[in-house]
Each structure stands twice: as C-alpha cells, then as structure tokens.
Copies of this chain bind each other. A is one copy, B any other.
Amino acid sequence: MLDIRPVLLVIGALLSVLGVAMFIPALIDLALGDAQWRVFAASGAVTLFVGGGLWLATRKGRVEFTRRQAFMMTVLTWASLSAFGALPFLWSGVVPTYTDAFFESMSGITTTGSTVMSGLDGMQAGILLWRGILQWLGGLGVIVMAIAVLPMLQVGGMQLFQAESFSTAEKILPRATQISAGLTALYILFTVICGSLYYSAGMTALDATVHGMTTVATGGLSSHDASIGHYGSARIELIAIVFMILGSLPFILYIQAMRGQWKRLFIDSEIRTFFMLLALFISIATFYAIETNTFTGIEALRHSAFNVVSVMTGTGYASTDYQLWGPFTIAFFFFIMFIGGCQGSTACGLKVFRLQVMFQVLKQHINRIVFPNGVFVKRYSGYPLADNVSAAVMSYFFLYVVSFLVLAILLQMTGLDFVTSLSGAGTAIANVGPGVGHIIGPSGNFQPLNDVAKWLLAFGMLLGRLELLTVLVLFLPSFWRE
C-alpha cells in the first residue's frame, strides 16, 4: 500500500501558505474600503482550515519520499493549489463558473497567463493582486521544484543537472532546504527591484506590484486588458525585457554568482545559446518589421525585442498585437513560443538545454552519415553527453510533440476552429498565455471557449509546467504495481 501521509502533509503545508497569502488581497481591499475583502478573508479561512487540518492530521512521523510519493506529491500539490486558488475568483463573482475560476487559477499558478477575464482596468485591486500573487508563487514553486524535485525524478533529461557536478566537476550538491531559502530571497529581491523600477517609470503602486510579480515569474498576467501595451512606454518595456530575461535564466547560477562564481553566468552554455537565439529572432523580427513597413528604425527594434522576449520566454505580455504586423509574424511567434527559457528558471517550454542536446545528437548522426568510419562524441557544455540523457531528452521532445497534437485534436473535437485549437494547445503546454487568431490571440481572451476546452487547456498547462512525464506516469498501470 502506498502511504499518502507525507503527500498530504506537503499539500496541507502548501495550502496553508496559499491560505495565508489570500489575506494579503483581503487587507488591501479592506484598506481601500472595498467590501470584497470578505471574499478573500473567507477564501483564506477555508483554504487555511483545510490546509492546516491536513497538516495537523499528518504531521506525526518521518517525512521521506519514495519516488512514487514524490510524483504524487508534485502533481497533487499543483492541482490542489489551483483548486483552492480559484475560490476568490468564483466567490467574488468576477467569473461566472467554477470552470472559469479554476482555469484562471491554474493559468496563474502554472505561470501561463491565459485569462478568461476582461474589463481588468476597472477591476478591484484585490483580484488583480491575487492573480499576480498566484503567478508569483507558481514561479517560485517551479524554481524550487526544478532544483529539488525534478532532477531526482530524472524527467526528460533533468538528471543533467542532478549533482551540478556535471558542469562544475565540484562535488557540491546544495541540499534542497538549504538552497530554497537562498532562491526565495533572490526571487523576492528581483521582484522588489523590478516592481520599484516599474513604479519609478510611472506605474501605480498596484500595477507595479502586479507586473513586478508576473514579470519575474514570466507569467504575463497584467492588470490591464491591453497588457504592457497600456502604457505605451519604451522605458517600461525595457524594464520588462530585462526582468523577463532574468526570470528565464537558471536561478542556481545566480546563487553561485553571489558566492563569487560570476564567470559561470557568462560561460554557461545554455545561457549563451539562449541569448544567441534571442538575438537571432529579434534580428529576424526587426528586419521584417522594417521590410514590411510595419515600424521604422528603433521602433521596429523596440517592438521586436519586446515581443520576441515576451513570447520566447513564455511570458506572454503584449505590447502591440503582433498579428497585425504582416503575414509572416504569426507562424514565427507561434513556433518560438515552444522554446521557452533555461532549465531551473520560471520559464516553461521545451527549454534551451533540450534544443542543445537534440542538436548535438543530430550533429553526431550527420557526422556518422558523412564519415561512417569516424568516431564522434556528443558533448554538452564541454562534457561528454551520456546516451541515457540524450535518449531522455529526445523522448521528451517526442512526447512534447505528441501531447501538443493530441491536445489540439481534442480541443478541435470540442468544436474550436483549427487555429484556436492548434495555438491553444501550444500556448497551454508551453505555458505562454495568449494564442493565435481572433478568439485567443494577443488581443482576445479565453472566455468564449466551451467548458470542456477550458478543462482540457487547464490540464495542458499542468502537463507543460510539470514537464509532462511527472503527470503522465501517474496514469501508467505499471507505476501503481507493487
């Protein structure tokens, strides 16, 4: 029998944190004299009651996880947090159904940023803040999970980063609990700096707080329907670019940088590739924006840089509707959104290191074709790449494509059109936010979709955020066999 006590213990503890977090918007609404503070207080009380109860009932005994418990814990934690995080949306009446509330909550906590809400500009402060807090907590959860849980589960080649010995040849594996504190402090620091810069650039305190949280989390939820485009400010866009990028780099390297290993930030192979890809895509977008007379000169660079960074990192802020830039940009932005950022960051998507590994495997294959008698070693970051790691990465890619296709077909079965199905599936699994087309494109939202589609998309977000396999193994009979 599987012992679910430790699983429930973690869920209880994290639900309690979520419950406490709900009192922040409650206090803000109360301070602003908005009666809606009661919704947050009630949601917080319920969540805290359930979470605290679970925690109290299970806290006795040792806390150790078998692999099966770790998988269950990861998936059930994210699902429960979404379920309870939805309460304020439902009880405040800003969305009509629990489906919508759950969608918004899942979109928040997975840092996806797809929304079923509109009319944000006149919305109560508490709700806007809550969306920001959900994404912020989700982003923090992802960083901790990527360092503490995923390498142990060896999902999709993440064992590459298991001991850090791979790229440093040092035997320092900082324990999850030790580094979690450092990561959290750093994450708070980034958020505070980003929010302060936004404030100094002209945002209101509320907007600066919400955008600070959703930028560092590469989440992309905004407190305005027009997203960052609301401000039309190059300075704000520049701040966003810098912090979206900072959110997409491996957080563990910041910790090491603070310990004096600055150089690693500049020699890390994944970071270099990430910047090379950004530079390439920004150049292409700028060139075409000028070529098609959409923008001129520095304006073309500004909008290209912002939108490429926003889409590739999976943040999903919009400054202008890139669908209006001319015909080429739609497929271009649709495809770069699958890439995402670096491992161990708040960004989602395929991750840059997987692209690098696949490119290495392809290079080896091509070399073997051209020089059948040669011996070719594939390398990552200078070190030989084990076959089981590259096989894991390639399998992950295969599963990523298949999951996308199956989700797109299921979405179309619910009655959505081809473009909405395709881009909806992509934006959910890559945790980007907006899709393509007139319904869920950068200037639309997910409200008009049917309920089944919303549940499917919410599942797709969870799937993408937890690196697919973490969720999918739970559906395998062999996983449950004694």
CA distance A479 to B397 in the complex (A): 28
A334, A367, A409: most-surrounded residue (chain B CB, <10 A): A409
Is A387 in contact with chain B by the CB < 8 A criterion? Answer: yes
Q: Enumerate chain B residues within 8 angstroms of A473, measured Cβ to Cβ.
A: 366, 369-370
Is A408 in contact with chain B by the CB < 8 A criterion? Answer: yes
Q: Enumerate chain B residues within 8 angstroms of A397, measured Cβ to Cβ.
A: 394, 397-398, 401
Which residues of chain A from 454 to 479 have a CB within 8 Å of any chain B CB? 469, 472-473, 476, 478-479
Which residues of chain A from 140 to 174 have a CB within 8 Å of any chain B CB? 153-155
Q: Enumerate chain B residues within 8 angstroms of A362, measured Cβ to Cβ.
A: 395, 398-399
Question: CB distance B331 to A409 under 8 Å?
Answer: yes
Task: Determine which of B67, B153, B409, B472 lies in contact with A332 in the assembled complex, contact meaning CB atoms within 8 Å.
Answer: B409
Question: CB distance B419 to A418 under 8 Å?
Answer: yes
Is A272 in contact with chain B by the CB < 8 A criterion? Answer: no
Q: Enumerate chain B residues within 8 angstroms of A394, measured Cβ to Cβ.
A: 358, 361, 391, 394-395, 397-398
CA distance A355 to B370 in the complex (A): 24
CA distance A422 to B330 in the complex (A): 11
Is A235 in contact with chain B by the CB < 8 A criterion? Answer: no
Which residues of chain A from 353 to 368 have a CB within 8 Å of any chain B CB? 358, 361-362, 364-368
A153, A331, A364, A367: most-surrounded residue (chain B CB, <10 A): A331
Question: CB distance A372 to B330 under 8 Å?
Answer: no
Mark contacts of A325-349 with chain B using CB atoms, 8 A cut-off: 1 yes-contact digit, 0 otherwise: 0011011101100000000000000
CA distance A367 to B395 in the complex (A): 12
Q: Enumerate chain B residues within 8 angstroms of A476, measured Cβ to Cβ.
A: 366, 370
Mark contacts of A45-62 with chain B using CB atoms, 8 A cut-off: 1 yes-contact digit, 0 otherwise: 000000000000000000
Question: CB distance A417 to B67 under 8 Å?
Answer: no
Question: CB distance A67 to B288 under 8 Å?
Answer: no
Q: Enumerate chain B residues within 8 angstroms of A469, measured Cβ to Cβ.
A: 365-366, 369
Is A436 in contact with chain B by the CB < 8 A criterion? Answer: yes
**CB of A271 to closest CB in B, whole Å:** 22
Is A405 in contact with chain B by the CB < 8 A criterion? Answer: yes
Question: CB distance A421 to B372 under 8 Å?
Answer: no
**CB of A163 to closest CB in B, whole Å:** 15
Is A452 in contact with chain B by the CB < 8 A criterion? Answer: no
> What residue of chain B has the Cβ atom nearest to residue A480's Cβ?
B370
> What residue of chain B has the Cβ atom nearest to residue A407's Cβ?
B331
Q: Enumerate chain B residues within 8 angstroms of A367, measured Cβ to Cβ.
A: 478
Task: Determine which of B155, B330, B364, B390 lies in contact with A412 in the assembled complex, contact meaning CB atoms within 8 Å.
Answer: B330
> What residue of chain B has the Cβ atom nearest to residue A364's Cβ?
B391
Is A232 in contact with chain B by the CB < 8 A criterion? Answer: no
Is A388 in contact with chain B by the CB < 8 A criterion? Answer: yes
Q: Report, as a range, how many residues of chain A touch the other chain.
A: 35 or more
CA distance A364 to B473 in the complex (A): 13
**CB of A33 to closest CB in B, whole Å:** 48
Question: CB distance A419 to B419 under 8 Å?
Answer: yes
CA distance A318 to B300 in the complex (A): 44
Question: CB distance B395 to A335 under 8 Å?
Answer: no
CA distance A432 to B334 in the complex (A): 23
Question: CB distance B387 to A67 under 8 Å?
Answer: no
Question: CB distance B391 to A418 under 8 Å?
Answer: no
Q: Enumerate chain B residues within 8 angstroms of A418, measured Cβ to Cβ.
A: 330-331, 334, 419, 436
Question: CB distance A387 to B395 under 8 Å?
Answer: no
Is A96 in contact with chain B by the CB < 8 A criterion? Answer: no
CA distance A418 to B428 in the complex (A): 19
Is A120 in contact with chain B by the CB < 8 A criterion? Answer: no
Q: Enumerate chain B residues within 8 angstroms of A416, measured Cβ to Cβ.
A: 327
Task: Determine which of B153, B334, B358, B419 lies in contact with A369 in the assembled complex, contact meaning CB atoms within 8 Å.
Answer: B153
Question: CB distance A368 to B413 under 8 Å?
Answer: no
A391, A421, A478, A479: most-surrounded residue (chain B CB, <10 A): A391
A155, A391, A417, A418: most-surrounded residue (chain B CB, <10 A): A418
| Pairs A–B under 8 Å by Cβ, sample size 25 | A153-B369, A154-B368, A154-B369, A327-B415, A327-B417, A328-B412, A330-B418, A331-B408, A331-B412, A331-B421, A332-B412, A334-B418, A361-B391, A361-B398, A366-B476, A367-B478, A368-B392, A369-B469, A370-B476, A370-B478, A387-B387, A387-B391, A397-B397, A418-B419, A422-B422
Give 6 new A-B contacts, CB below 8 A, not counting A155-B369, A418-B419: A327-B417, A328-B413, A362-B398, A364-B391, A364-B395, A369-B473
Pairs A-B, 4 closest by C-beta atoms: A394-B394, A365-B395, A328-B413, A362-B395
